């Protein structure tokens, strides 16, 4: 393969893309910090009076519905629409999709009105979104019903986006190619917000390199390979999180390119 | 004594209870992470459109008024009412009770309309709630006026709940039995949100084992014994917090059962 | 020089000032924790029904517009007005000033109606506020156009406050004296919210010692000297943050007084 994720990582680090997040209040700090460590510049404003001006000068917009409410949903739709008009790529993280009707209808409305460039969820959420079925309890995935490769391919084709389903193994598709990634560590499942953090890193890579299977894959792999290093430097979920931020910040091109476990299906 | 807190801990870890939090934006991330480390699955949604569906499938509901406002208070009352209808136990953390009239009236209204199964505050807050008097400045306790054992017994009896007052020494009562717990470490007082984190752990234990003096005591002890280990692995409040998460995650049955300092009064 | 910042630090630690923050949801937890580590007692309530009672008993009020919205702006103006009436010093952190019209107009309104005792921003924000020009992208500073010493002197004189501009080098002025501080570490720029954290430490020092060039300088220096120690105990931005909290908590009088790099211009 000719895929060199380090080229995309270098682009993030040199361009320092401004990544506008409208996100949840649980993991917002982790998203800001992982964004910096990955090479981006985060901004998290969600006031309707502020988002239009902010997103207009941003390189990417990350919409995360982890703790949605009507005020923030309105800001998401407004910012998303303006992002599209300005050619700013939009990443949607449909947190808890399928867990409640409010979440499901919010995701549906964002997809219909904003047409995100990237949709990235866990396997359960993406299973629900595909219509093939997924099991979501609270904001945790308990897996998808069908073949995950087919789930992301179907979502990508239907919505004209890059779709990614994360889990022990990750799948990314643009409706044509499907890529399977298998880096990472079990401790990622023991820290709140690692899924949100991946979306922020995707925001950095897409902001600097445009939306594609390669840029989304590189972002996920950079994060997951860093997690492998972080696990060695930690004693549990508490020390794992700071170690993960360190590892993303310190990740070398060689560690990324040689560490990636990626198969084109 | 026959009390084996490790049995209750094992139950949490095997059942992985979904613990719905409606909580403050200061310590929400710590609550989510300690909940995972203790063995639960946290969800923190607070939108009125979302809480009914979420709490209906949860194993416990934690209401924490640390940064209350009218929007969130309405969600708390709605979620609390639905929790009662579904038999989902409710834990109330009356943060800053007594510090301002708005906090006092909010707590009073939640107790009246939701009838929480567990009320857990610091000594100052519980002193105020009991009517015997407590000293609360901001969200910090400066102690209760009366005998804390009597304060928790009185609150438990009056409201038909399990009451817990935390501090250097912790007291738990169901209106009949009063238990005194004396594990922990001074560094807990130098980290924002350790009281909130205890409430989340209580949510896990009550979610898996039902509300009782034993389940609340086991939760508090698991947290405080972990703090003793964490203190040895840290250099101050900053490194103490990740070490505390690690310690809760790694706590063994033996460490819990042999470490507990508990007296039935 | 006769300036002994440790005297001011001791005063914070012995008085334990209650510092009321109305702040953003991104870095609020870090602000609470650094406030404790610096010697203060933080409270972060922002409900309009709660802020008047809380600020009346506080020693300082920190207003931070990082994630402003109309609800919170109203609370800021109300709390700020009450703080003035009660002689509680107000610290304004104009996060992202200049990045969007909403931020600029909010800062202008707070200054006009609250008359803060201290205004502390990064160089870009303070450059914009001074009218001499500054470059702000998102919430990051890309520097000021003019001489920063002149910028803070001008702002301090115009608004009758202590003005501070932070960056690689920090400047503080009361409109008469201008002080240049040059402690700190590059990793501060790789962690979200270090600027917010400085404002919280300033809140502690001003709460205990009153607003002056000396108290603001001592706060900034205590934070930045701690950062120098923290950098030695960390492997990147992730482990730097807990190490920074530890270092602020453990900072000795001797380390502060001997470590300070301060020039009166």
**Confidence category of residue C1, pLDDT binned at 50, 70, 90:** low
Q: How far is B111 from chain A (nearest CA, A)?
A: 25
B15-63 residue pLDDT tens: 999 999 999 999 999 999 999 999 999 999 999 999 999 999 999 999 9
Q: What pLDDT, on a 0 to 100 scale, did the predictor assign at position B71?
A: 94
Share of chain C above pLDDT 70, in %: 100
CB contact under 8 A, A25 and B25: yes
CB contact under 8 A, B101 and C53: yes
Q: Is B36 on the interface with A (CB under 8 A)?
A: yes
Q: How far is A2 from chain B (nearest CA, A)?
A: 39
C191-204 residue pLDDT tens: 999 999 999 999 99
C67-79 residue pLDDT tens: 999 999 999 999 9
DSSP string, A202-261: HHHHHHHH-SSHHHHHHHHHHHHHHHHHHHHT-SSHHHHHHHHHHHHHH--HHHHHHH--
Angle between helices C5-15 and C194-209 (to 10 degrees): 80
Structure tokens at A255: 């560690």
Q: Which of residues 48-67 of A touch C (CB under 8 A)?
A: 49-50, 53-54, 57-58
Sequence-distant (6+) residues with CB within 8 A of B189 are none
Closest chain A residue to the Cα of B71, Cα to Cα = A69
- By the 8 A CB rule, do C46 and C53 touch? no
Average confidence (pLDDT) over C33-51: 97
Average confidence (pLDDT) over C49-62: 97
Q: Is B96 on the interface with C (CB under 8 A)?
A: yes
User: Taking the CB of residue C171, how many other CB atoms lie within 10 A of it?
Assistant: 26
- By the 8 A CB rule, do B148 and B122 touch? no
Nearest to A29 among C68, C192, C239 (CB): C192
Does the structure show a pLDDT above 90 at C143?
no
Q: Which chain C residues touch A246 with a CB distance below 8 Å?
A: 234-239
Nearest to B192 among C29, C57, C250 (CB): C29
Q: Is B135 on the interface with C (CB under 8 A)?
A: no
Nearest to A18 among C137, C191, C235 (CB): C137
Please state which of the ranges B130-134, C79-83, C154-158, C176-180 shows the lowest mean pLDDT.
B130-134
Closest chain B residue to the Cα of C247, Cα to Cα = B236
Mean pLDDT rounded to a whole number for chain A: 96
Structure tokens at A193: 């917000």
Better-scored residue on pLDDT, B137 or C203: C203
A96-108 residue pLDDT tens: 999 999 999 999 9
b/e burial code for range A20-49 (CB count within 10 A of at least 16 → b): bbbbbbbbbbbbbbbbbbbbbbbbbbbbbb
Q: Is A150 on the interface with C (CB under 8 A)?
A: no
- By the 8 A CB rule, do A259 and A225 touch? yes
Q: Which of residues 195-234 of A touch B (CB under 8 A)?
A: 234
CA A17 to chain centre: 15
pTM for the predicted model, two decimal places: 0.97
Nearest to A28 among C26, C103, C191 (CB): C26
Nearest to C25 among B25, B102, B234 (CB): B25
Mutate which of B100, B240, B242, B244 to test chain C, going by most C C-beta atoms within 10 A?
Answer: B100
Closest chain C residue to the Cα of A22, Cα to Cα = C67
A139-185 residue pLDDT tens: 888 888 889 999 999 999 999 999 999 999 999 999 999 999 999 99
- By the 8 A CB rule, do A195 and A174 touch? no
Q: How far is A205 from chain C (nearest CA, A)?
A: 18
Does the structure show a pLDDT above 70 at A1?
no
Mutate which of A26, A73, A103 to test chain B, going by most B C-beta atoms within 10 A?
Answer: A26
- By the 8 A CB rule, do A52 and A78 touch? yes
Does the structure show a pLDDT above 60 at B94?
yes
Chains that touch C (3 or more CB pairs under 8 A): A, B
CA-based angle C80:C84:C90, to the nearest 5? 60
- By the 8 A CB rule, do A40 and A204 touch? yes
Mean pLDDT rounded to a whole number for chain C: 96
> Three-class SS of residue A158?
helix
**Confidence category of residue B138, pLDDT binned at 50, 70, 90:** confident
Alpha-carbon distances, residue A188 vs A195, A226, C242, C256 (angstroms): 9, 11, 20, 39
Nearest to C54 among B100, B238, B241 (CB): B100
Partnered with residue B120 across adjacent β-strands are B164
CB contact under 8 A, B29 and A192: yes
CB contact under 8 A, B28 and A25: yes
ipTM above 0.85, yes or no: yes
Please state which of the ranges B144-148, B219-223, B241-245, C59-63 shows the lowest mean pLDDT.
B144-148
CB contact under 8 A, B44 and A26: yes
Does the structure show a pLDDT above 90 at C145?
no
CB contact under 8 A, A49 and C239: no
Q: Which chain C residues touch A26 with a CB distance below 8 Å?
A: none
Average confidence (pLDDT) over A207-221: 98
CB contact under 8 A, B49 and A70: yes
Q: Which chain B residues touch C71 with a CB distance below 8 Å?
A: 69
CB contact under 8 A, A42 and C192: yes
> Three-class SS of residue B31?
helix
Average confidence (pLDDT) over C114-131: 97
Does the structure show a pLDDT above 80 at B2?
no
Q: How many CA atoms lie within 13 A of C225 on its CB side?
A: 26
- By the 8 A CB rule, do B31 and B197 touch? yes
Q: Please give the interface size between B and C, counted as residue pairs whose CB atoms are below 8 Å apart.
A: 102
Q: How many CA atoms lie within 13 A of B182 on its CB side?
A: 6
Closest chain C residue to the Cα of B65, Cα to Cα = C45
CB contact under 8 A, C53 and B96: no
Q: How far apart are CA C96 and CA C138, in angstroms?
A: 6
Average confidence (pLDDT) over B140-147: 87
Q: How far apart are CA A252 and CA A257, in angstroms?
A: 9
Average confidence (pLDDT) over B76-86: 98
Does the structure show a pLDDT above 90 at A217?
yes
Q: Which chain B residues touch C25 with a CB distance below 8 Å?
A: 25
Does the structure show a pLDDT above 90 at B143?
no
């Amino acid at each position: 393969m000719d895929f060199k994720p380090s080229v995309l990582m270098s682009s993030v680090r040199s361009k320092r893309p401004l990544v506008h997040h409208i996100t949840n209040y649980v993991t917002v700090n982790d998203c800001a910090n992982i964004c910096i460590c990955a090479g981006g510049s985060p901004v998290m404003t969600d006031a309707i009076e502020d988002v239009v001006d902010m997103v207009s000068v941003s390189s990417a917009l990350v919409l995360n519905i982890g703790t949605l409410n009507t005020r923030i949903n309105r800001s998401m739709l407004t910012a998303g629409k303006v992002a599209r008009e300005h050619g700013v790529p939009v990443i949607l993280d449909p947190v808890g999709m399928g867990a409640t009707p409010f979440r499901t209808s919010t995701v549906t409305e964002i997809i219909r009105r904003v047409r995100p460039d990237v949709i990235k969820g866990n396997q359960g959420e993406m299973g629900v979104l595909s219509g093939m079925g997924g099991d979501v309890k609270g904001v945790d995935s308990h897996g998808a019903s069908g073949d995950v490769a087919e789930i992301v391919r179907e979502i990508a084709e239907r919505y004209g986006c890059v779709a990614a389903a994360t889990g022990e193994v990750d799948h990314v598709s643009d409706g044509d190619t499907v890529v399977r990634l298998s880096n990472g560590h079990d401790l990622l499942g023991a820290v709140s917000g690692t899924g949100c953090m991946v979306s922020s890193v995707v925001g950095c890579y897409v902001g600097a390199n445009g939306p594609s299977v390669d840029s989304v894959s590189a972002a996920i792999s950079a994060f997951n390979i860093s997690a492998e290093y972080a696990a060695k430097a930690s004693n549990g979920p508490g020390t794992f999180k700071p170690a993960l931020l360190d590892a993303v910040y310190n990740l070398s091109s060689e560690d990324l390119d040689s560490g990636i476990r990626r198969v084109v299906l």
